[in-house]
Amino acid sequence: MIRTLYTRLALGLFVLLVAVGLVYSVISLYSLREYNASLNQELNRDLAKKLVQDRNLINEGRLDEAALKELFSLYMAINPSIEIYLLDREGRILSYSADPEKIKRNQVSLAPIQRLLDDMAAYPVLGDDPRSHDRQKVFSVTPIPSADKLEGYLYVVLRGEEYDMAETMARSGHFIEMSAWAVVISLAFGMVAGLAVFRLLTRRLTRLTGLVEQFEHTGMSRQPPQTWQQQRPEVRDEVDYLGVTFDHMAQRIASQIEELQDKDSLRRRLVAQVSHDLRTPLASMQGYVESLRMKRKVLSDAEQERFLDIALEEGRRLGRLVDELFELAALEAREKQPQPEPFAAAELIYDVSHKHVPEAERKNLVLNVSGSLSLPLVYGDLAMTERVLDNLISNAITYSPAGESVELALALEGERLTVRVSDAGPGIPEQDRPHIFEAFYRGDARNTSGHAGLGLAIARRIMEMQGGTISVFNNPVCGATFEIRLPVYQDNDLPPK
């Protein structure tokens, strides 16, 4: 429970409120003391002066000692919170109304006295407390003249011993209790209000956490039943943005896992197909070699030659399959990258077709090439494009019956140059066309004597890597047409040197 965000926020709020309460209490006490001192000094700033005037302490220009003692006695009874001191011109204490046993100083500093006399509105001004070596108190002061000269000062400490005792009792009593209750109630209210606000703020995060848990429980293979964007169609703040981002991430992860599962299924099927296709020529080659070894004495020279030819052909078939497997693996792993350059596609078509003329003549086929040699250059990998054309022309020759023709046509369509290779074979069944470019896929119309198809999978991968496309469709009468498209060369296609 303590690991949840709401609990941590609640604990953080509690600690913060306690700290704020303590700081507030300290500042309030300090401010209250300063305020009381200023108020007390302002209200009694003329107290010392009035005492001198009202009690007739100056008689015939001199200080009346008897009147001063009477003043001490009177104010100790009437207002015990103040203490009255008689100072000489140097600040030495001559007489006082306080308890003699508690007087710690013989002299007070004249600097605060002079500062207050210079500016009676400067509050609070603290002076030395004769009852302490380091404590300072607010005071009222007035000079006492004698025969046209300064005889001393009447120094009145406004917060004397009795005041301190009364203040201490008040703090330890009802005032402290009320202050404590006020702080506790304020903190409790702040805590409840803060928890309510945190609940409102974390409610959406809790819902988002629920969506993440649902997604995790599904094995990340499908999105939660209700997405964040369905709950909150409008993105208003960072939490909504996080929820929408999670939706996109979950959708992408689910699609990637589905794709990985499809890839794994395809990999298993490919492994099984590869095992079969490798085992078939290997078993055939092994069978003929063993037969030749066992029956060499009874077989004629012609039969031995035939056995050797068949074993050699199966070896070549096995070698071609292994080479195609390595080529497809290199293309899928991007170990083999295209090296694009501008070249004349028309010249390449004529060159490749001439290379396949002997193969076509052996099957009594005609290779026809149509298209202008003045077509613009295309931008692609010359060797890879030749590899694709070799595969398409070889397949067209393989599936065309004797006496027919294989058509190669070039055309410019917009910013793409199109090459079509058409055969006169049985065509491709509709159910096979979506899978014709998949590795090892073998349709019903394929010649089962040949090895499983990797050439078309390689051709599609090559065309995708160099920015082209490859497609297939059936001809109206008979046969199928494979079409490749390459981008026309533009001046900005070449990389900077």
Span 475-497, average pLDDT = 79
* Residue 386 pLDDT grade (very low, low, confident, very high; cuts 50, 70, 90): very high
Which single residue is written with the structure tokens 């002079």? 114
Which residues, other chains included, contact 481 with Cβ-Cβ below 8 Å and sequence gap of 6+? 420, 421, 422, 423, 472, 473, 474, 475
Backbone angles phi, psi at 90, to 5 degrees: -95, -5
Give the C-alpha separation, 68 to 76, whole Å: 12
Rounded to whole angstroms, how far apart are CA atoms 327 and 317? Answer: 15
At the second CATH level, the architecture of 44-172 is 2-Layer Sandwich (3.30)
Q: At what angle do helices 174-217 and 5-43 cross, to 10 degrees?
A: 160
In the chain, where the domains are located: 44-172, 218-336, 338-493
Mean pLDDT of the chain: 79
In 3-state terms the chain splits into helix, strand, coil percentages (rounded to 5) of 55, 15, 30
Domain covering 218-336, topology? Helix Hairpins (1.10.287)
The closest of 261, 184, 173, 180 to 221, measured between CA atoms, is: 261
Helix (H) / strand (E) element for 191: namely: helix 174-217
Burial of 381 (0-12, 13-18, 19+ CB in 10 A): buried
Query: Residue 138 pairs with which residues in a beta bridge?
Result: 126
Residue 90: pLDDT over 60: yes
Whole-prediction pTM: 0.48
Distance CA 449, CA 427 (A): 18
289 phi and psi angles, rounded to 5 deg: -65, -45
pLDDT band at residue 446 using 50, 70 and 90 as cut-offs:
very low
Say whether 122 sits in a helix, a strand or coil: coil
Tokens standing for 282? Answer: 């290997």
Position 165 pLDDT exceeds 60? no
- Give the mean pLDDT of 326-341: 80
Dist CA 427 CA 16 (whole Å): 80
SS3 404: coil
Confidence of residue 129 (pLDDT cuts 50, 70, 90): confident
What's the average model confidence in pLDDT over 303-328?
Answer: 83
Per-residue pLDDT band for 160 (boundaries 50, 70, 90) equals low
Checking if the pLDDT of 92 tops 50, the result is yes
The three-class DSSP label of residue 125 is coil
Question: Which parts of 376-481 fold into alpha helices (H)?
Answer: 382-399, 455-465
44-172 against 218-336: fold identical = no
Helix axes 174-217, 238-294, angle to 10 degrees: 30
Report how far apart, in Å, the C-alpha atoms of 391 and of each of 313, 382, 450, 455 are.
19, 14, 14, 6
Mean pLDDT of 173-188: 71
Work out the percent of the chain whose per-residue pLDDT is above 70.
Answer: 81
192-246 tens-digit pLDDT: 887 777 777 777 777 777 778 777 777 776 666 667 666 666 766 777 778 878 7
- Record the tokens describing residue 437, joined without a space: 């470019």
338-493: CATH class: alpha beta
Instruction: Say how far apart CA 78 and CA 349 lie, in whole Å.
Output: 126
Distance CA 143, CA 48 (A): 9
